[in-house]
Chains A and B, each alone.
Chain A
Amino acid sequence: MGLLTILKKMKQKEREMRLLMLGLDNAGKTTILKKFNGEDVSTISPTLGFNIKTLDHRGFKLNIWDVGGQKSLRSYWRNYFESTDGLVWVVDSADRLRLEDCKQELSALLLEERLAGATLLVFANKQDLPGALSKEAIREALALDEIKSHHWCIIGCSAVTGENLLTGVDWLLDDIAARIFTSD
Protein backbone atom coordinates (compact mmCIF):
# COMPACT_ATOMS: atom_id res chain seq x y z
CA MET A 1 0.00 0.00 0.00
CA GLY A 2 1.59 3.22 -1.11
CA LEU A 3 1.64 6.42 0.86
CA LEU A 4 -0.82 8.07 -1.53
CA THR A 5 -3.31 5.28 -1.04
CA ILE A 6 -3.03 5.62 2.71
CA LEU A 7 -3.61 9.35 2.46
CA LYS A 8 -6.63 8.81 0.22
CA LYS A 9 -8.09 6.29 2.65
CA MET A 10 -7.60 8.69 5.55
CA LYS A 11 -9.35 11.46 3.69
CA GLN A 12 -12.30 9.22 2.97
CA LYS A 13 -12.51 8.26 6.63
CA GLU A 14 -13.48 11.87 7.36
CA ARG A 15 -16.70 11.40 5.40
CA GLU A 16 -17.77 14.97 5.08
CA MET A 17 -21.03 15.95 3.39
CA ARG A 18 -22.64 19.23 2.49
CA LEU A 19 -26.42 19.50 2.74
CA LEU A 20 -28.40 22.49 1.51
CA MET A 21 -31.82 23.12 3.01
CA LEU A 22 -34.23 25.21 0.95
CA GLY A 23 -37.97 25.83 0.68
CA LEU A 24 -40.50 28.64 0.82
CA ASP A 25 -40.58 30.93 3.83
CA ASN A 26 -42.37 29.49 6.87
CA ALA A 27 -41.76 25.92 5.67
CA GLY A 28 -39.87 25.10 8.87
CA LYS A 29 -36.27 24.85 7.66
CA THR A 30 -34.66 26.47 10.68
CA THR A 31 -36.93 24.52 13.02
CA ILE A 32 -35.86 21.24 11.39
CA LEU A 33 -32.21 22.20 11.71
CA LYS A 34 -32.50 23.21 15.35
CA LYS A 35 -34.65 20.24 16.32
CA PHE A 36 -32.21 17.86 14.63
CA ASN A 37 -29.42 19.47 16.60
CA GLY A 38 -31.42 19.24 19.85
CA GLU A 39 -31.90 22.97 20.35
CA ASP A 40 -34.90 24.97 21.55
CA VAL A 41 -37.37 25.59 18.70
CA SER A 42 -39.90 27.91 20.39
CA THR A 43 -38.10 31.21 19.78
CA ILE A 44 -37.15 30.92 16.11
CA SER A 45 -37.52 34.07 14.03
CA PRO A 46 -37.91 34.21 10.25
CA THR A 47 -34.40 33.70 8.85
CA LEU A 48 -32.83 36.89 7.61
CA GLY A 49 -29.82 35.44 5.83
CA PHE A 50 -28.72 31.90 6.65
CA ASN A 51 -27.68 29.45 9.38
CA ILE A 52 -24.89 26.89 9.17
CA LYS A 53 -24.54 23.90 11.48
CA THR A 54 -21.79 21.34 11.47
CA LEU A 55 -22.73 18.18 13.25
CA ASP A 56 -21.56 14.59 13.52
CA HIS A 57 -24.08 11.91 12.75
CA ARG A 58 -23.41 8.20 12.20
CA GLY A 59 -19.74 8.87 11.64
CA PHE A 60 -20.44 11.49 8.98
CA LYS A 61 -19.57 15.12 9.36
CA LEU A 62 -22.57 17.08 8.10
CA ASN A 63 -22.38 20.69 7.03
CA ILE A 64 -25.99 21.82 6.90
CA TRP A 65 -26.82 25.15 5.28
CA ASP A 66 -30.22 26.62 6.02
CA VAL A 67 -30.96 29.61 3.80
CA GLY A 68 -33.92 31.94 4.35
CA GLY A 69 -36.90 31.34 2.08
CA GLN A 70 -38.42 34.82 1.77
CA LYS A 71 -39.06 35.90 -1.80
CA SER A 72 -36.38 38.57 -1.63
CA LEU A 73 -33.80 36.01 -0.48
CA ARG A 74 -34.51 33.35 -3.10
CA SER A 75 -32.30 35.03 -5.68
CA TYR A 76 -29.39 34.43 -3.29
CA TRP A 77 -30.00 30.68 -3.10
CA ARG A 78 -27.75 30.09 -6.07
CA ASN A 79 -24.77 31.33 -4.08
CA TYR A 80 -25.01 28.19 -1.99
CA PHE A 81 -25.31 25.58 -4.76
CA GLU A 82 -21.61 24.80 -5.20
CA SER A 83 -20.48 21.31 -4.12
CA THR A 84 -23.82 20.38 -2.55
CA ASP A 85 -24.14 16.64 -1.92
CA GLY A 86 -27.74 16.67 -0.77
CA LEU A 87 -30.66 19.04 -1.25
CA VAL A 88 -33.35 19.09 1.43
CA TRP A 89 -36.55 20.68 0.14
CA VAL A 90 -38.89 21.56 2.98
CA VAL A 91 -42.63 21.94 2.32
CA ASP A 92 -45.26 23.40 4.67
CA SER A 93 -47.88 20.68 4.18
CA ALA A 94 -50.61 22.91 5.60
CA ASP A 95 -49.96 25.80 3.20
CA ARG A 96 -52.25 24.82 0.34
CA LEU A 97 -52.32 28.33 -1.10
CA ARG A 98 -48.67 28.34 -2.05
CA LEU A 99 -48.20 24.77 -3.26
CA GLU A 100 -48.06 26.05 -6.82
CA ASP A 101 -45.28 28.47 -5.83
CA CYS A 102 -43.51 25.67 -4.06
CA LYS A 103 -43.71 23.49 -7.14
CA GLN A 104 -42.27 26.17 -9.40
CA GLU A 105 -39.36 27.01 -7.12
CA LEU A 106 -38.46 23.33 -6.86
CA SER A 107 -38.63 22.77 -10.60
CA ALA A 108 -36.33 25.75 -11.17
CA LEU A 109 -33.83 24.31 -8.70
CA LEU A 110 -33.79 20.91 -10.35
CA LEU A 111 -32.80 22.46 -13.67
CA GLU A 112 -29.79 24.04 -11.96
CA GLU A 113 -26.58 22.54 -13.29
CA ARG A 114 -24.63 22.90 -10.07
CA LEU A 115 -27.23 20.81 -8.24
CA ALA A 116 -27.30 18.12 -10.91
CA GLY A 117 -25.39 15.60 -8.82
CA ALA A 118 -27.25 16.20 -5.56
CA THR A 119 -29.70 13.80 -3.94
CA LEU A 120 -33.13 15.31 -3.23
CA LEU A 121 -34.97 14.77 0.05
CA VAL A 122 -38.42 16.34 0.29
CA PHE A 123 -39.69 16.89 3.82
CA ALA A 124 -43.50 17.20 3.92
CA ASN A 125 -43.30 19.13 7.15
CA LYS A 126 -45.95 20.06 9.75
CA GLN A 127 -47.68 16.68 9.70
CA ASP A 128 -48.68 17.39 13.31
CA LEU A 129 -51.15 20.08 12.14
CA PRO A 130 -54.74 18.89 11.64
CA GLY A 131 -55.01 20.63 8.26
CA ALA A 132 -51.80 19.20 6.81
CA LEU A 133 -51.82 17.42 3.45
CA SER A 134 -50.49 13.87 3.46
CA LYS A 135 -47.11 13.17 1.92
CA GLU A 136 -48.86 11.39 -0.97
CA ALA A 137 -50.85 14.54 -1.71
CA ILE A 138 -47.66 16.62 -1.64
CA ARG A 139 -45.94 14.10 -3.85
CA GLU A 140 -48.72 14.49 -6.39
CA ALA A 141 -48.97 18.26 -6.06
CA LEU A 142 -45.24 18.71 -6.66
CA ALA A 143 -45.29 16.10 -9.46
CA LEU A 144 -42.30 14.39 -7.87
CA ASP A 145 -42.84 11.21 -9.89
CA GLU A 146 -41.75 13.08 -12.98
CA ILE A 147 -38.28 13.74 -11.60
CA LYS A 148 -35.79 11.54 -13.41
CA SER A 149 -32.75 13.72 -13.05
CA HIS A 150 -32.14 13.21 -9.32
CA HIS A 151 -32.43 10.47 -6.72
CA TRP A 152 -35.35 11.60 -4.57
CA CYS A 153 -37.51 10.58 -1.64
CA ILE A 154 -40.41 12.22 0.20
CA ILE A 155 -40.82 11.86 3.96
CA GLY A 156 -43.71 13.20 6.05
CA CYS A 157 -42.34 14.78 9.19
CA SER A 158 -42.94 17.25 11.97
CA ALA A 159 -40.15 19.57 12.98
CA VAL A 160 -41.99 20.51 16.16
CA THR A 161 -42.33 16.94 17.45
CA GLY A 162 -39.19 15.70 15.70
CA GLU A 163 -41.11 12.84 14.08
CA ASN A 164 -39.36 11.23 11.09
CA LEU A 165 -36.54 13.77 10.89
CA LEU A 166 -34.00 11.05 11.55
CA THR A 167 -35.57 8.70 9.00
CA GLY A 168 -35.26 11.36 6.32
CA VAL A 169 -31.70 12.36 7.08
CA ASP A 170 -30.60 8.71 7.31
CA TRP A 171 -32.05 7.98 3.88
CA LEU A 172 -30.24 11.02 2.50
CA LEU A 173 -26.91 9.97 4.03
CA ASP A 174 -27.21 6.43 2.73
CA ASP A 175 -27.96 7.61 -0.76
CA ILE A 176 -25.11 10.12 -0.81
CA ALA A 177 -22.66 7.71 0.77
CA ALA A 178 -23.43 5.07 -1.84
CA ARG A 179 -22.63 7.63 -4.48
CA ILE A 180 -19.50 9.38 -3.27
CA PHE A 181 -17.71 7.11 -0.83
CA THR A 182 -16.08 3.76 -1.43
CA SER A 183 -17.74 0.81 0.19
CA ASP A 184 -14.89 -0.29 2.43
Chain B
Amino acid sequence: MDVMADVSHENTLAADSGAARVQERMQKRNQARIESVERRREAKESQSVAEENYEFFSSTFNREREGIEELLSGCSGADRATAAQNLEEATVRTAQLQKFLSDSTLFLKQYDLRKAQAALQTLQTSLTETREEALPKKKFAFRARTKGADRACAPAADTPPPSAVSPAEPGSTQTDGASEQCGFSNLSEQLLIKTSEEVQKRDVLLTHLTNCKVRLFGSPSTLHLKHIQGCEILCGPVSSSVFVDRCTDSTLAVPCQQLRTHNTTDTRVYLHVTSRAIIEDCRGVSFAPFSWSYPTLEEDFAVSGLDQTRNNWSQVDDFNWLAAGTPSPNWTVIPEEERRTSWDP
Protein backbone atom coordinates (compact mmCIF):
# COMPACT_ATOMS: atom_id res chain seq x y z
CA MET B 1 0.00 0.00 0.00
CA ASP B 2 2.76 2.34 1.04
CA VAL B 3 4.72 1.43 -1.98
CA MET B 4 1.67 2.04 -4.10
CA ALA B 5 1.14 5.42 -2.46
CA ASP B 6 4.74 6.32 -3.01
CA VAL B 7 4.52 5.35 -6.60
CA SER B 8 1.33 7.28 -7.13
CA HIS B 9 2.88 10.27 -5.36
CA GLU B 10 5.85 10.07 -7.62
CA ASN B 11 3.52 9.85 -10.57
CA THR B 12 1.72 12.95 -9.43
CA LEU B 13 5.05 14.70 -9.09
CA ALA B 14 6.04 13.65 -12.57
CA ALA B 15 2.66 14.73 -13.93
CA ASP B 16 3.00 18.06 -12.10
CA SER B 17 6.38 18.81 -13.57
CA GLY B 18 5.08 17.71 -17.02
CA ALA B 19 2.13 20.09 -16.77
CA ALA B 20 4.42 22.92 -15.69
CA ARG B 21 6.64 22.32 -18.69
CA VAL B 22 3.69 22.27 -21.04
CA GLN B 23 2.39 25.45 -19.54
CA GLU B 24 5.80 27.03 -19.81
CA ARG B 25 6.05 25.99 -23.44
CA MET B 26 2.61 27.31 -24.14
CA GLN B 27 3.43 30.60 -22.49
CA LYS B 28 6.58 30.88 -24.52
CA ARG B 29 4.71 30.12 -27.68
CA ASN B 30 2.04 32.63 -26.82
CA GLN B 31 4.75 35.20 -26.17
CA ALA B 32 6.29 34.47 -29.55
CA ARG B 33 2.92 34.74 -31.22
CA ILE B 34 2.21 38.10 -29.62
CA GLU B 35 5.64 39.30 -30.58
CA SER B 36 5.21 38.23 -34.16
CA VAL B 37 1.79 39.89 -34.34
CA GLU B 38 3.40 43.01 -32.94
CA ARG B 39 6.18 42.79 -35.50
CA ARG B 40 3.73 42.35 -38.34
CA ARG B 41 1.64 45.25 -37.09
CA GLU B 42 4.72 47.44 -36.93
CA ALA B 43 5.76 46.38 -40.40
CA LYS B 44 2.33 47.18 -41.69
CA GLU B 45 2.30 50.56 -39.98
CA SER B 46 5.67 51.47 -41.37
CA GLN B 47 4.30 50.76 -44.83
CA SER B 48 1.07 52.68 -44.60
CA VAL B 49 1.59 56.31 -43.71
CA ALA B 50 -0.79 57.92 -41.26
CA GLU B 51 -1.99 60.29 -44.00
CA GLU B 52 -3.13 57.36 -46.11
CA ASN B 53 -6.43 56.69 -44.48
CA TYR B 54 -9.87 57.86 -45.30
CA GLU B 55 -10.57 59.70 -42.02
CA PHE B 56 -7.51 61.86 -42.39
CA PHE B 57 -8.29 62.54 -46.05
CA SER B 58 -11.92 63.37 -45.55
CA SER B 59 -11.34 65.69 -42.60
CA THR B 60 -8.51 67.56 -44.36
CA PHE B 61 -10.45 67.73 -47.61
CA ASN B 62 -13.62 69.03 -45.98
CA ARG B 63 -11.78 71.55 -43.83
CA GLU B 64 -10.05 72.99 -46.89
CA ARG B 65 -13.26 72.99 -48.92
CA GLU B 66 -15.11 74.90 -46.22
CA GLY B 67 -12.25 77.39 -46.10
CA ILE B 68 -12.53 78.04 -49.82
CA GLU B 69 -16.31 78.31 -49.65
CA GLU B 70 -15.94 80.88 -46.91
CA LEU B 71 -13.56 82.87 -49.11
CA LEU B 72 -16.05 82.76 -51.96
CA SER B 73 -19.01 83.82 -49.85
CA GLY B 74 -16.88 86.73 -48.63
CA CYS B 75 -16.72 87.99 -52.20
CA SER B 76 -20.34 89.03 -52.52
CA GLY B 77 -20.73 92.58 -51.37
CA ALA B 78 -16.99 93.10 -50.95
CA ASP B 79 -15.19 95.79 -52.94
CA ARG B 80 -13.35 94.86 -56.14
CA ALA B 81 -9.86 94.64 -54.70
CA THR B 82 -10.89 92.38 -51.82
CA ALA B 83 -12.96 90.20 -54.11
CA ALA B 84 -10.08 89.88 -56.56
CA GLN B 85 -7.72 88.95 -53.75
CA ASN B 86 -10.17 86.42 -52.34
CA LEU B 87 -10.71 84.88 -55.75
CA GLU B 88 -7.00 84.66 -56.38
CA GLU B 89 -6.49 82.84 -53.09
CA ALA B 90 -9.48 80.60 -53.71
CA THR B 91 -8.13 79.63 -57.11
CA VAL B 92 -4.75 78.71 -55.70
CA ARG B 93 -6.27 76.76 -52.84
CA THR B 94 -8.64 74.91 -55.19
CA ALA B 95 -5.68 73.88 -57.31
CA GLN B 96 -3.90 72.64 -54.18
CA LEU B 97 -6.99 70.72 -53.19
CA GLN B 98 -7.11 69.13 -56.63
CA LYS B 99 -3.51 68.04 -56.21
CA PHE B 100 -4.23 66.67 -52.75
CA LEU B 101 -7.07 64.64 -54.18
CA SER B 102 -5.02 63.29 -57.07
CA ASP B 103 -2.24 62.39 -54.62
CA SER B 104 -4.76 60.46 -52.57
CA THR B 105 -6.29 58.45 -55.40
CA LEU B 106 -4.07 55.49 -54.54
CA PHE B 107 -5.70 54.60 -51.25
CA LEU B 108 -9.20 56.03 -51.68
CA LYS B 109 -12.10 53.78 -52.53
CA GLN B 110 -13.87 54.40 -55.83
CA TYR B 111 -16.95 55.76 -54.09
CA ASP B 112 -15.02 58.18 -51.87
CA LEU B 113 -12.96 59.31 -54.83
CA ARG B 114 -16.02 60.06 -56.91
CA LYS B 115 -17.67 61.86 -54.01
CA ALA B 116 -14.59 64.03 -53.52
CA GLN B 117 -14.33 64.75 -57.24
CA ALA B 118 -17.98 65.80 -57.34
CA ALA B 119 -17.41 68.11 -54.36
CA LEU B 120 -14.39 69.63 -56.08
CA GLN B 121 -16.36 70.10 -59.28
CA THR B 122 -19.10 71.95 -57.39
CA LEU B 123 -16.44 74.08 -55.78
CA GLN B 124 -14.90 74.96 -59.13
CA THR B 125 -18.27 75.83 -60.59
CA SER B 126 -19.09 78.14 -57.72
CA LEU B 127 -15.61 79.66 -58.02
CA THR B 128 -16.27 80.45 -61.69
CA GLU B 129 -19.72 81.81 -60.92
CA THR B 130 -18.42 83.99 -58.13
CA ARG B 131 -15.67 85.32 -60.37
CA GLU B 132 -18.16 86.23 -63.08
CA GLU B 133 -20.40 87.87 -60.52
CA ALA B 134 -17.74 89.81 -58.62
CA LEU B 135 -15.44 90.72 -61.48
CA PRO B 136 -17.52 90.60 -64.65
CA LYS B 137 -14.98 92.48 -66.76
CA LYS B 138 -12.23 90.03 -65.88
CA LYS B 139 -13.92 87.30 -67.85
CA PHE B 140 -11.48 86.11 -70.50
CA ALA B 141 -12.28 87.75 -73.82
CA PHE B 142 -10.16 89.33 -76.46
CA ARG B 143 -10.41 93.05 -76.99
CA ALA B 144 -10.73 94.43 -80.48
CA ARG B 145 -7.31 96.06 -80.42
CA THR B 146 -4.40 95.68 -78.05
CA LYS B 147 -2.71 98.55 -76.33
CA GLY B 148 0.44 97.67 -78.24
CA ALA B 149 -1.28 98.17 -81.57
CA ASP B 150 -2.76 101.47 -80.47
CA ARG B 151 0.62 102.75 -79.49
CA ALA B 152 2.09 101.60 -82.76
CA CYS B 153 -0.60 103.39 -84.73
CA ALA B 154 -0.12 106.80 -83.17
CA PRO B 155 3.41 107.48 -84.44
CA ALA B 156 2.60 105.89 -87.80
CA ALA B 157 0.24 108.75 -88.60
CA ASP B 158 2.94 111.38 -88.92
CA THR B 159 5.64 109.27 -90.54
CA PRO B 160 6.27 109.12 -94.30
CA PRO B 161 4.71 106.34 -96.42
CA PRO B 162 5.45 102.78 -95.24
CA SER B 163 7.99 101.99 -97.92
CA ALA B 164 10.24 104.80 -96.76
CA VAL B 165 10.25 103.79 -93.10
CA SER B 166 13.49 102.31 -91.85
CA PRO B 167 13.56 98.59 -91.03
CA ALA B 168 12.25 97.38 -87.68
CA GLU B 169 14.41 96.74 -84.67
CA PRO B 170 14.48 93.06 -83.79
CA GLY B 171 12.31 92.32 -80.79
CA SER B 172 10.38 95.57 -81.10
CA THR B 173 6.99 95.36 -79.45
CA GLN B 174 4.96 97.02 -82.15
CA THR B 175 2.20 94.91 -83.62
CA ASP B 176 1.28 97.11 -86.52
CA GLY B 177 3.23 95.37 -89.24
CA ALA B 178 2.71 97.66 -92.21
CA SER B 179 4.42 100.65 -90.63
CA GLU B 180 7.78 99.00 -90.18
CA GLN B 181 8.07 96.02 -92.47
CA CYS B 182 10.13 96.01 -95.61
CA GLY B 183 7.91 96.15 -98.72
CA PHE B 184 5.39 98.14 -100.75
CA SER B 185 1.74 98.95 -100.18
CA ASN B 186 -1.13 100.99 -101.62
CA LEU B 187 0.42 101.61 -105.04
CA SER B 188 -0.72 101.21 -108.63
CA GLU B 189 0.68 101.37 -112.16
CA GLN B 190 4.34 101.43 -111.09
CA LEU B 191 7.59 99.57 -111.44
CA LEU B 192 8.80 98.74 -107.91
CA ILE B 193 12.29 97.45 -107.20
CA LYS B 194 14.11 96.35 -104.05
CA THR B 195 17.80 95.60 -104.06
CA SER B 196 19.51 92.66 -102.47
CA GLU B 197 20.70 94.76 -99.49
CA GLU B 198 17.14 95.85 -98.74
CA VAL B 199 15.49 92.44 -98.67
CA GLN B 200 18.29 90.13 -97.52
CA LYS B 201 17.09 87.93 -94.58
CA ARG B 202 14.08 90.20 -94.04
CA ASP B 203 10.32 89.64 -94.01
CA VAL B 204 9.02 91.35 -97.12
CA LEU B 205 5.38 92.46 -97.31
CA LEU B 206 3.52 93.58 -100.42
CA THR B 207 -0.09 94.74 -99.92
CA HIS B 208 -2.79 96.49 -101.92
CA LEU B 209 -0.89 96.69 -105.20
CA THR B 210 -2.73 97.12 -108.50
CA ASN B 211 -1.19 96.72 -111.97
CA CYS B 212 2.37 96.99 -110.69
CA LYS B 213 5.57 95.27 -111.75
CA VAL B 214 7.63 94.25 -108.74
CA ARG B 215 11.23 93.01 -108.80
CA LEU B 216 12.76 91.82 -105.55
CA PHE B 217 16.44 90.97 -106.04
CA GLY B 218 18.01 89.10 -103.14
CA SER B 219 16.98 86.47 -100.62
CA PRO B 220 14.19 87.46 -98.18
CA SER B 221 13.40 85.35 -95.12
CA THR B 222 9.67 85.28 -95.90
CA LEU B 223 7.45 86.94 -98.47
CA HIS B 224 3.84 87.98 -97.82
CA LEU B 225 1.54 89.06 -100.65
CA LYS B 226 -1.90 90.38 -99.77
CA HIS B 227 -4.58 92.09 -101.88
CA ILE B 228 -2.69 91.98 -105.14
CA GLN B 229 -4.40 92.65 -108.46
CA GLY B 230 -3.03 92.46 -111.98
CA CYS B 231 0.59 92.51 -110.85
CA GLU B 232 3.74 90.80 -112.03
CA ILE B 233 5.89 89.93 -109.02
CA LEU B 234 9.33 88.38 -109.38
CA CYS B 235 11.39 87.53 -106.32
CA GLY B 236 14.74 85.94 -105.48
CA PRO B 237 15.01 82.74 -103.38
CA VAL B 238 12.95 82.93 -100.16
CA SER B 239 14.56 80.87 -97.41
CA SER B 240 11.28 79.83 -95.71
CA SER B 241 7.68 80.40 -96.81
CA VAL B 242 5.83 82.55 -99.28
CA PHE B 243 2.32 83.59 -98.29
CA VAL B 244 -0.17 84.62 -100.93
CA ASP B 245 -3.60 85.90 -99.91
CA ARG B 246 -6.31 87.52 -102.05
CA CYS B 247 -4.37 87.76 -105.24
CA THR B 248 -6.09 87.98 -108.65
CA ASP B 249 -5.03 88.12 -112.31
CA SER B 250 -1.36 88.16 -111.46
CA THR B 251 1.88 86.45 -112.34
CA LEU B 252 4.37 85.40 -109.66
CA ALA B 253 7.82 83.89 -109.95
CA VAL B 254 9.64 82.79 -106.82
CA PRO B 255 11.83 80.04 -105.38
CA CYS B 256 10.98 79.11 -101.77
CA GLN B 257 10.80 76.32 -99.23
CA GLN B 258 7.00 76.37 -98.88
CA LEU B 259 4.27 78.17 -100.82
CA ARG B 260 0.95 78.80 -99.08
CA THR B 261 -1.71 80.26 -101.33
CA HIS B 262 -5.11 81.44 -100.08
CA ASN B 263 -8.19 83.06 -101.67
CA THR B 264 -6.41 83.49 -104.94
CA THR B 265 -7.90 83.39 -108.45
CA ASP B 266 -6.59 83.35 -112.00
CA THR B 267 -2.93 83.61 -111.11
CA ARG B 268 0.11 82.03 -112.72
CA VAL B 269 2.93 80.90 -110.47
CA TYR B 270 6.43 80.15 -111.81
CA LEU B 271 7.68 78.20 -108.87
CA HIS B 272 10.70 76.53 -107.39
CA VAL B 273 9.62 74.85 -104.14
CA THR B 274 11.74 72.44 -102.13
CA SER B 275 8.94 70.99 -99.99
CA ARG B 276 5.41 71.44 -101.34
CA ALA B 277 3.00 74.12 -102.45
CA ILE B 278 -0.53 74.29 -101.06
CA ILE B 279 -3.64 76.15 -102.15
CA GLU B 280 -6.74 76.88 -100.07
CA ASP B 281 -9.94 78.55 -101.27
CA CYS B 282 -8.37 79.19 -104.66
CA ARG B 283 -9.44 78.68 -108.24
CA GLY B 284 -7.81 79.10 -111.61
CA VAL B 285 -4.27 78.94 -110.23
CA SER B 286 -1.71 77.52 -112.63
CA PHE B 287 1.86 76.43 -112.07
CA ALA B 288 5.08 76.18 -114.08
CA PRO B 289 8.75 75.81 -113.08
CA PHE B 290 10.60 78.96 -111.99
CA SER B 291 12.28 80.57 -114.98
CA TRP B 292 13.23 84.12 -114.00
CA SER B 293 16.94 84.85 -113.78
CA TYR B 294 19.15 87.76 -112.77
CA PRO B 295 22.93 88.16 -112.36
CA THR B 296 23.22 87.29 -108.64
CA LEU B 297 20.58 84.55 -108.55
CA GLU B 298 23.12 81.80 -107.84
CA GLU B 299 24.57 83.67 -104.87
CA ASP B 300 21.10 84.35 -103.49
CA PHE B 301 20.25 80.67 -103.79
CA ALA B 302 23.32 79.95 -101.67
CA VAL B 303 22.25 82.56 -99.08
CA SER B 304 18.74 81.12 -98.86
CA GLY B 305 20.00 77.58 -98.33
CA LEU B 306 17.45 76.21 -100.82
CA ASP B 307 18.32 73.05 -102.71
CA GLN B 308 18.45 74.02 -106.39
CA THR B 309 18.14 70.45 -107.55
CA ARG B 310 14.90 69.74 -105.71
CA ASN B 311 11.85 71.38 -107.28
CA ASN B 312 8.36 70.05 -106.51
CA TRP B 313 6.52 72.78 -108.39
CA SER B 314 3.94 70.39 -109.82
CA GLN B 315 3.03 68.71 -106.50
CA VAL B 316 0.32 70.97 -105.20
CA ASP B 317 -1.94 70.09 -102.24
CA ASP B 318 -5.41 71.60 -102.34
CA PHE B 319 -6.90 71.83 -98.85
CA ASN B 320 -10.37 72.05 -100.34
CA TRP B 321 -9.90 68.91 -102.37
CA LEU B 322 -9.10 66.04 -100.08
CA ALA B 323 -10.33 63.29 -102.41
CA ALA B 324 -7.43 61.06 -103.30
CA GLY B 325 -7.16 59.88 -106.89
CA THR B 326 -9.10 62.65 -108.62
CA PRO B 327 -7.05 65.79 -109.35
CA SER B 328 -8.23 69.10 -107.91
CA PRO B 329 -10.14 71.31 -110.38
CA ASN B 330 -8.74 74.42 -108.70
CA TRP B 331 -5.24 74.33 -110.18
CA THR B 332 -3.53 73.30 -113.41
CA VAL B 333 -0.09 73.03 -114.96
CA ILE B 334 0.67 75.71 -117.56
CA PRO B 335 1.27 73.96 -120.90
CA GLU B 336 4.89 74.25 -122.01
CA GLU B 337 4.14 76.33 -125.12
CA GLU B 338 2.29 78.93 -123.00
CA ARG B 339 5.03 79.42 -120.41
CA ARG B 340 6.81 82.78 -120.18
CA THR B 341 10.53 82.66 -120.88
CA SER B 342 11.47 86.35 -121.00
CA TRP B 343 10.79 88.60 -118.04
CA ASP B 344 12.36 91.94 -118.89
CA PRO B 345 10.02 94.79 -118.10
Contact = CB atoms under 8 A, between A and B. Distances in A.
Given A48-B319, A146-B140, A131 B203 contact: yes
**Most A CB within 10 A of own CB, among B143, B280, B320:** B280
Nearest to A9: B106
Interface string B40-57: 000000010000000000
**Is the interface on chain B under 10, 10 to 19, 20 to 34, or 35 or more residues?**
35 or more
A96 B280 contact: no
A7 to B, nearest CB: 11
A95 to B, nearest CB: 8
A26 B280 contact: no
A179 B98 contact: yes
**Is the interface on chain A under 10, 10 to 19, 20 to 34, or 35 or more residues?**
35 or more
Interface in A53-82: 70-73
A66 to B, nearest CB: 16
Contacts of A183: 103
A148 B317 contact: no
A94 B262 contact: no
Contact of B106 (A72, A146, A182): A182
Contacts of A71: 262, 280-281, 319
Contacts of B305: 42
Interface stretch (B65-73, B165-173, B283-291): B165-173
A96 B177 contact: yes
A3 interface: no
B260 interface: yes
A99 interface: yes
A46 interface: yes
Contacts, number: 126
Contact of A143 (B143, B171, B174, B241): B143
A163 B174 CA distance: 24
Contacts of A73: 319
Interface string B141-181: 11100111100000000000000000010111111110001
B310 to A, nearest CB: 8
B175 A48 contact: no
B343 interface: no
B175 A99 contact: yes
Contacts of B147: 140
A179 B305 CA distance: 44
B148 A130 contact: no
B131 interface: yes
A104 interface: yes
A46 B276 contact: yes
Contact of A178 (B99, B143, B168, B319): B99
A90 to B, nearest CB: 14
Contacts of A104: 142
A140 B173 CA distance: 9
Interface in B286-316: 305, 307
B148 A26 contact: no
Given A72-B320, A140-B146, A179-B98, A149 B140 contact: yes
B317 A143 contact: no
B203 A129 contact: yes
A103 interface: yes
Nearest to B306: A42
B274 interface: yes
Contact of B280 (A8, A9, A72, A182): A72
Contacts of B168: 131
Given A45-B317, A107-B142, A130 B276 contact: no
Given A133-B171, A180-B102, 10 more contacts: A42-B307, A46-B275, A48-B278, A71-B280, A72-B320, A96-B175, A97-B224, A130-B201, A131-B202, A143-B143
Interface of B: 47, 91, 95, 98-99, 102-103, 105-107, 131, 138, 140-143, 146-149, 168, 170-177, 181, 201-203, 205, 221-222, 224, 226, 241, 243, 257-258, 260, 262, 274-276, 278, 280-281, 305, 307, 317, 319-320, 322
Interface of A: 1, 5, 8-9, 25-26, 42-46, 48, 70-73, 94, 96-97, 99, 103-104, 107, 110, 129-134, 136-137, 140-141, 143, 146-149, 151, 178-183
